[in-house]
Structure 1
Amino acid sequence: MREKLVLIGNGMAGIRTLEEILKKDPYRYDMTVFGEEPHPNYNRILLSSVLQGDADVRDIVLNDYDWYEQNQVQLYTGDPIVKVDTEKQKVYSRNGIECDYDKLIFATGSNAFMLPLPGADLDGVIAFRNIKDCETMIETSKHYKRAVVIGGGLLGLEAARGLLNLNMEVDVIHIADYLMERQLDEPAGKLLKQELEAQGMRFHLNKHTEQIVGKNRVTGIHFKDGTKLKADLIVMAVGIRPNVTLAQEAGLNVERAIVVDDYMQTSAPNVYAVGECAQHRGIAYGLVAPLYEQGKVLAEHITEPDSLEKGYEGSILYTQLKVSGVDVFSAGNFTDSEETKAIRVHDEFEGIYKKVVIKENQVVGAVLFGDTSDSTRLLNMIKSCEDISGMSKVALLPSEDANGGAISVADLDDSANICGCNGVSKGDICSAIKEQGLTTFEEVKQCTNASRSCGRCKPEVIELLALTTGNDAATQETLCGCTDLDHQEVVAQIRELGLTHPREVMNVLGWKSDEGCSKCRPAINYYLGMVDPLNNQDDHTSRFVNERFHANINNNGTFTVVPRMYGGVTNSEQLRKIADVADKYNVPLLKVTGGQRIDLLGVEKEDLPKVWSELGMRSGSAYAKALRTVKTCVGANFCRFGTQDSIGFGIELEKKFEYINTPHKVKMAVSACPRNCAESGIKDFGVVGVEGGWELYVGGNGGVDLRAGDLFHKAETKEEIMDTISAFMQYYRENAKYLERTSHFVERVGLDHMRKVVLEDEEGRKALVERMDIALSNRKDPWKEIVDSEEKKKELFEEKKVEVLS
């Protein structure tokens, strides 16, 4: 019988510990994870990329829901543990779940520190710590323009850069003389200030905040020197504090954080701690590399304790990052003292600054600004305590090798650390490439974890891959780590060989994993249906969790059912059905959505077929990579500004394109006039009524990666607009990568190219529309599939009753 392991915290350190356990002994533990946020495990390091618009939330997910399911890890999101009984070895969650454990791991991380200032509780005063904070900033930027960031450290500057990208005016308040004083020395900090001022940030150094002012919402900030600033949003980024309240209440030994030994054991038996909530030898680490080192030691200790030669002994602190487009690196002790000497290079023309600190013939610290190409070599010298007495001190900062070329990873020893976040050396990467036959960057990333966190070492990993395999082409962006083929090559092979099933694709095309993975199986399943819509047999098992259950999974394991309401129009009969179902199945929450429908939130998994059957309404496909909604305004029939029948056209569009599979979700809107009440300007396909006709906008995105749609075509008739959407969508279906939104697709291929394909090439347009009609003729109705399944269950039940009676 398996032991029970409970993890409190669904963050990077805790889940990495589970990954290490699964590598060493995948059948040792029944694992249960409780997380406070309503998300699977994501990369907190890349939150700034989401805020700045360089990544979508899904891009920073490290372990999706399928990973938990495949590894039989029970996940409770949005349900933190509120009590731990170390004597009974039991935990209790906020939602009332009780869970026994044999081993318990605290990975509760840290909380953002909020300055206890008057007015800090006003609306518009937030931290920058999680996805919700990102979403708040993005939403605020739509209505307000003046932002103040308190804190000139890394997090504060990343927040400021993101707010600039959101077209807000940004002032940064910092208590010190220069920026990022924990990671940089004064010359580097001043260079960074100059660079960021050129980008549009305004800085106020040596400033002490006195109070935040406003009635209900923040309107300004006052300083102790009597100066003031107006503000619509204040972001505090002044540090973090280990989240130890639960551990204290459980009676664990807590100082600044939860005290652990070299094996991450706390003061209670069978209770461990890793990550920012743990204090080891007096230090609580806030960087990802030490946290992963702790997780590795803990995993080995509770799976193979006899093989563990030594425990965790602490880490050398270093950071390598890109601050608003500027490369920065620091490591070790880089401050000047009487016992140290330093070598400095300062190129004001190129904006480059380098400093290496030496003590007793050893490199003990370094700061690099603007050019971090020497970082890997210097970090390894610091870690190895290399004696440099026989080395020319100037050679510590070479910009080129002896032949005049840039220094390459090929010149590094095998022990050199390539991926600092995950502790992966050059030797680890090269050995994995040779022994495992790895040929793509994605394969190396999945196998070794190199470049899986901040991603800064990706160029070095790609270079090592090319050097080791002798094949530059091996570094192409493949579909996933299971294959050497990219998206286009997989589609071409499916067409050429007439492949019809995901397993056939993986077998014929030489997949390296018999089962594939959660990234490639849904993609293959989509490509098969797109290539041959008439003969394709959809593989239900290759779809994402939400698509398999025809509902969106919630953070507590229940589901959200969304019936379709064409164009946002409903009637009393539908509303009665929804109300009756909600009462019968104790649905805890009904909510009107932004897509003009009604969510039934909190439906139990076992009730889903009955709920769909009794609603008698078609699925709204809120979970699907397909057309989700067509939002409409009331139109010319009711609105005095409307020029067209937006509701009628919206319903026609929705009925025509519902259930057609697409590379990613697709949203549409129809507005009856340029006032755009249906938000047509930020949809994948947005239609706007004008005098005498319609305008079509494409490639809009109203999510985190906000993008206004491009005006694509004007037409007098809705039939012409309908055909244009058909042709455009079919070309998108055939040529986009799986999980590529129309906004990214339009930017990749170019709007001019799409106009040539869809508008100027009449024969090509006609062929696209015909292929779309073929695909539409064979689409599956998931609602009918669910209802038929429920009816079949009833028939089988009745047959069984007859058998028993006879």
Structure 2
Amino acid sequence: MQKLVVIGAGMASGRVLEHLFETAPDAYDVTLFNAEPRGNYNRLMLSPVLSGEKSYAEIVTHDDDWYSANGVTCRFGEAVVKIDRDRKVVVGQNGEVPYDKLVIGTGSAPFIIPLPGKDLPEVITYRDLDDTNAMIEAAARPGSRAVVIGGGLLGLEAAAGLRMRGMEVTVLHLMGHLMERQLDEAAGYLLKKDLEDRGITVLTRASTKAILGDGKVEAVLLEDETVLEADLVVMAVGIRPETRLAKDAALAVGRGVEVNAQMQTSDPDVLALGECVEFNGQLFGLVAPLYDQAKVVASTLLAEPAAFVTKELSTKLKVTGCDLFSAGDFAEAEDREDIVFRDPARGVYKRLVLKEDRLIGAVMYGDTADGSWFFGLIKDGTDVSEMRDTLIFGPAYQGGAAVDPLSAVAALPADAEICGCNGVCKGQIVTAIEGGATDLGMIRATTKASASCGTCTGLVEQVLAVTLGDDFVLPAAQSVCGCTDLTHEDVRRLIKSQALKSQPAVWQELGWSTPNGCHVCRPAINFYLLADWPLEYQDDPQSRFVNERNHANIQKDGTYSVMPRMFGGITTAAELRAIADAADKYNVPTVKVTGGQRIDLLGVKKEDLPGIWYDLNAAGMVSGHAYSKGLRTVKTCVGTDHCRFGTQDSTGLGIKLEKLLWGSWTPHKVKLAVSGCPRNCAEATCKDVGIICVDSGYQVGVGGAAGMDLKETERLCDVPTEEEALEVTAAFVQIYRENAKYLDRPYKWLAKVGLDWVKAQVVDDLENRRALAARFELSQTVYRKDPWAPLAAKAESFAPLADLTLEAAE
């Protein structure tokens, strides 16, 4: 068996190994070096890890089991020192490995601007998981500020993630508008405006002069002498091919490692691919051509004919929840004409660039659904003169009138590109469907379409719908998990109609294929049974996520967060003393005031959880349930007690709401706020339930959001009294609890059922509202309890934690 050594465990080389093992699993004995202490993961998904939406475990592409199953010898955490081509040996830090064939996938290195202060420890780049973790750690420090140098994709993703972690963030960009390589000035303006709406300061035409600080970063100095205070500086100004090993090995190197169409370097036994290579004078940064290169490398290693060909590329990106698309040439010139569509209210902008009746460029912001169709017109050089008047409206409007959008997808040719990252066309997806891939997961497994950045998911689903017709099941109707064909909605209905009151009853009566369910369905079924049969169903702790089982939030280092409840954000001197005493007694490293008006004790050891909660319970405090799918906080302003603008007792109402709702389990976390006047100091208009106090009473809004999706609450009703506000809130939480899909926040559930339906149930039907509120109160006789309270009654027994195992956070 020949020996293959691969340097670099990135996405491109990982795809090479996939092709190799799928085609000829016994062709090579593979050794894989990686300077990072880990294998292949999806670097496109580092931004969700930074923002907290995903964990590292969720973006791993090849885990230890995959490498083991394919017989790969992994040299992770070991840098390659030298390539000795004469002896055909790769020299690592821990020894030599001989090769018959060598693949160089060293990627790129971030460019560091040679500024004074660039070597301070808080100046980092954004290229890998270690950089991401460094940013997460910096963001955890209270009141920290970041300056991101560079307004390209990576810089903006870093800024967005840090902002979501709570940092004050300023982006500095040298050019006149953001992402100038992908966007024109108008689209760049919209992106800047959107980022500023999210609390990120953006300075264009900003040139950095120096990074200031004595041993640590303190500020950034601009050329115009502006000084920006900073605790962290992220440089995201560009990348350069990592060619040092290739140069030292005397391989041909220009701007990158030079390769031919078979991805061979100047040494035919040494291949290279990815961001480190140069082909026909061109460098590569997008994932789509890298995956094309991976196919060619695998073919070359197996002595099969293949050649890498550069293609016209489109860029479909998602920055901080903003959809962007660009393709072709959109520079201004006298021989070109523009077609522009603007919808300021929706934040939508589209610009098409035509030359001699051909579409040569497209820029889209906010609505990119037709990007693939426009890209096809650009690639094919289609004469668009006949559709000139309706071209901007996309394929659904060709012929002068709107048609079913699926008809436009059906009309796409087989070679129309659907997934740009993986180079998957419509024909490949249709072939996969005809071969039995009938849902999105199977399409991803078969073709890899939508498996990378995910922006083409909607288009892939449309191809599924067109090809399968009536047999296609929309994602909203997909089954709970692989154990059943039933949807969440089906299961909820059957649990009620068949009076199923235990998990074994669900598994048995509803035909579960797995005897005891799986990690996906068990938490959902456990919640549905709790919601429908609160007095009869016994909660199953092992069917909850690890945080809910341990009654504390696990942190990245394996310690826990302890957060006692502070009703309405009110505390006392005695409570503060108890918290301070607990922090000293258990050596708590970080004590933080949260955005929900509470105090968080961070870094508590697992074995100290029972003890610290015993002490806090003894002081009269209960769990803040910061880990739960349930009520988190009720944020308040001071209201009429202290504020000269207050119209009602917002603090008092907030305390009553929290005492009414605390301990309740819901499909997802629920946050409330009460503002004492329309000045809205408690930020009630972006909560799951937000109440604004006015002279005439209380305005109740629902369905707000302030995460990746930013959404204002919708007005549910106005009520004149506190009692009615409490009743309406309890009824709304209960109808959400009884009807929503598990893990849907209220705003997502409202988008499915409609606010009018909720109003009819909660506002218009007074009898039904009171019945909902009564059912909520009934369930609270079971729910409303502190999970740590038994420790106060029996201090010598810390049994509740004895059988818990430490697992990865959800």
Q: How far apart are residue 340 of structure 1 and its match?
A: 3.3
User: For 2:784 and 2:132, how far apart are their aligned partners in 1?
Assistant: 46
Q: How far apart are residue 29 of structure 1 and its match?
A: 1.7
Residue equivalent to 2:233: 234
User: For 1:190 and 1:526, how far apart are their aligned partners in 2?
Assistant: 44
Residue equivalent to 1:124: 122
* Structure 1 stretch displaced more, 139-148 or 477-486: 477-486
Is residue 2:72 matched to residue 1:77?
Answer: no
Q: How far apart are residue 165 of structure 1 and its match?
A: 1.0
Q: Is the 8 A contact 2:102 2:271 kept in 1?
A: yes
Residue equivalent to 1:346: 342
Q: How far apart are residue 142 of structure 1 and its match?
A: 2.1
User: For 1:406 and 1:747, how far apart are their aligned partners in 2?
Assistant: 31
Residue equivalent to 1:385: 381
Is residue 2:66 matched to residue 1:139?
Answer: no
- CA deviations over 1:514-556 (Å, ceiling 9, x no partner): xxxxxx99879999999xxxxxxxxxxxxxxxxxxxxxxxxxx
Residue equivalent to 1:559: none
* Structure 1 stretch displaced more, 441-450 or 335-344: 335-344
- CA deviations over 1:260-289 (Å, ceiling 9, x no partner): 000100011311011101111101110011
Q: How far apart are residue 343 of structure 1 and its match?
A: 2.4
Q: How far apart are residue 125 of structure 1 and its match?
A: 1.1
Q: Is the 8 A contact 1:439 1:474 kept in 2?
A: no
Change (3 A) 1:757 1:413: farther
User: For 1:329 and 1:161, how far apart are their aligned partners in 2?
Assistant: 19
Is residue 2:508 matched to residue 1:496?
Answer: yes
> 3-state DSSP class of the match of 1:305?
coil
Q: How far apart are residue 380 of structure 1 and its match?
A: 1.3
Residue equivalent to 1:148: 147
The AA in structure 1 aligned to 2:507 is R
> 3-state DSSP class of the match of 2:13?
helix
Q: How far apart are residue 145 of structure 1 and its match?
A: 2.3
Change (3 A) 1:640 1:460: closer
User: For 1:194 and 1:782, how far apart are their aligned partners in 2?
Assistant: 46
Change (3 A) 1:521 1:693: closer
The AA in structure 2 aligned to 1:391 is E
User: For 1:643 and 1:169, how far apart are their aligned partners in 2?
Assistant: 28
Residue equivalent to 1:373: 369
Alignment of 1:524-673 (within 5 A): none
Q: How far apart are residue 332 of structure 1 and its match?
A: 1.7
Residue equivalent to 2:55: 56
Residue equivalent to 1:428: 428
User: For 1:189 and 1:370, how far apart are their aligned partners in 2?
Assistant: 12
Residue equivalent to 1:395: 390
Residue equivalent to 1:284: 283
- CA deviations over 1:334-391 (Å, ceiling 9, x no partner): 2122443332223334332222223344322211112212200111122223344x53
Residue equivalent to 2:627: 700
User: For 2:278 and 2:303, how far apart are their aligned partners in 1?
Assistant: 23
Q: How far apart are residue 193 of structure 1 and its match?
A: 1.6
Q: Is the 8 A contact 1:276 1:285 kept in 2?
A: yes
Alignment of 1:677-688 (within 5 A): 679=604, 687=613
Q: Is the 8 A contact 1:595 1:631 kept in 2?
A: no
- CA deviations over 1:405-451 (Å, ceiling 9, x no partner): 4633233222111111101111111110111x122211111111000
Change (3 A) 1:266 1:483: farther
Residue equivalent to 1:414: 414
User: For 2:254 and 2:562, how far apart are their aligned partners in 1?
Assistant: 54
Residue equivalent to 2:781: 760
Aligned length: 606
> 3-state DSSP class of the match of 2:211?
strand
Is residue 2:155 matched to residue 1:159?
Answer: no
The AA in structure 2 aligned to 1:414 is A
Q: How far apart are residue 707 of structure 1 and its match?
A: 13
User: For 1:699 and 1:62, how far apart are their aligned partners in 2?
Assistant: 31
The AA in structure 2 aligned to 1:124 is E
Q: How far apart are residue 176 of structure 1 and its match?
A: 0.7
Q: How far apart are residue 674 of structure 1 and its match?
A: 7.2
- CA deviations over 1:558-606 (Å, ceiling 9, x no partner): xxxxxxxx99xxxxxxxxxxxxxxxxxxxxxxxxx9557xxxxxxxxxx
User: For 1:765 and 1:674, how far apart are their aligned partners in 2?
Assistant: 17
Change (3 A) 1:286 1:762: closer
User: For 1:755 and 1:92, how far apart are their aligned partners in 2?
Assistant: 67
User: For 1:341 and 1:480, how far apart are their aligned partners in 2?
Assistant: 51
- CA deviations over 1:725-769 (Å, ceiling 9, x no partner): 99999x99xxxxxxxxxxx9996589x999979852489999xx9
Residue equivalent to 2:326: 330
> 3-state DSSP class of the match of 1:319?
strand
> 3-state DSSP class of the match of 2:163?
helix
Q: Is the 8 A contact 2:241 2:256 kept in 1?
A: yes
* Structure 1 stretch displaced more, 455-464 or 258-267: 455-464
Q: Give the % identical residues.
A: 37
Indicate which of 303, 306, 313 corresponds to 2:309: 313
Change (3 A) 1:528 1:5: farther
Alignment of 1:689-728 (within 5 A): 689-700=616-627
Q: Is the 8 A contact 2:352 2:359 kept in 1?
A: yes
Q: Is the 8 A contact 1:418 1:460 kept in 2?
A: yes
Change (3 A) 1:707 1:175: farther
Indicate which of 349, 352, 356 corresponds to 2:352: 356
> 3-state DSSP class of the match of 2:296?
helix
User: For 2:465 and 2:120, how far apart are their aligned partners in 1?
Assistant: 54
Q: How far apart are residue 67 of structure 1 and its match?
A: 1.8
> 3-state DSSP class of the match of 1:190?
helix
Alignment of 1:96-135 (within 5 A): 96-135=94-133
User: For 1:238 and 1:263, how far apart are their aligned partners in 2?
Assistant: 31
Q: Is the 8 A contact 1:441 1:462 kept in 2?
A: yes
Q: How far apart are residue 208 of structure 1 and its match?
A: 1.5
Change (3 A) 1:274 1:398: same
User: For 1:313 and 1:384, how far apart are their aligned partners in 2?
Assistant: 16
Residue equivalent to 1:799: none
Q: How far apart are residue 301 of structure 1 and its match?
A: 2.3
Q: Is the 8 A contact 1:442 1:481 kept in 2?
A: no
Q: How far apart are residue 140 of structure 1 and its match?
A: 1.1
> 3-state DSSP class of the match of 1:330?
strand
User: For 1:359 and 1:233, how far apart are their aligned partners in 2?
Assistant: 46
Q: How far apart are residue 394 of structure 1 and its match?
A: 2.8
Residue equivalent to 1:445: 444
User: For 1:187 and 1:204, how far apart are their aligned partners in 2?
Assistant: 16
Change (3 A) 1:474 1:355: closer
Change (3 A) 1:289 1:763: closer
Residue equivalent to 1:194: 193
Q: Is the 8 A contact 1:172 1:201 kept in 2?
A: yes
User: For 2:100 and 2:442, how far apart are their aligned partners in 1?
Assistant: 35
User: For 2:327 and 2:120, how far apart are their aligned partners in 1?
Assistant: 38
The one of the two structures with greater contact order (alpha-carbon pairs below 8 A, sep at least 6) is 1
Q: Is the 8 A contact 2:358 2:383 kept in 1?
A: yes
> 3-state DSSP class of the match of 1:391?
helix
Q: How far apart are residue 322 of structure 1 and its match?
A: 1.6
Q: Is the 8 A contact 1:318 1:330 kept in 2?
A: yes
User: For 2:177 and 2:602, how far apart are their aligned partners in 1?
Assistant: 47
Gaps of 5+ in 2: 492-502, 528-549, 565-574, 587-597, 635-661, 670-739, 747-771, 791-798
Q: Is the 8 A contact 1:8 1:108 kept in 2?
A: yes
- CA deviations over 1:128-174 (Å, ceiling 9, x no partner): 11112221112112224221111111111111111221222221111
Change (3 A) 1:710 1:197: closer
> 3-state DSSP class of the match of 1:276?
coil
User: For 2:22 and 2:45, how far apart are their aligned partners in 1?
Assistant: 25
The AA in structure 2 aligned to 1:117 is L
Q: Is the 8 A contact 1:128 1:134 kept in 2?
A: yes
Q: Is the 8 A contact 2:663 2:786 kept in 1?
A: no
Q: Is the 8 A contact 2:663 2:780 kept in 1?
A: no
User: For 2:418 and 2:70, how far apart are their aligned partners in 1?
Assistant: 29
Change (3 A) 1:25 1:210: same
> 3-state DSSP class of the match of 2:327?
strand
The AA in structure 2 aligned to 1:378 is F
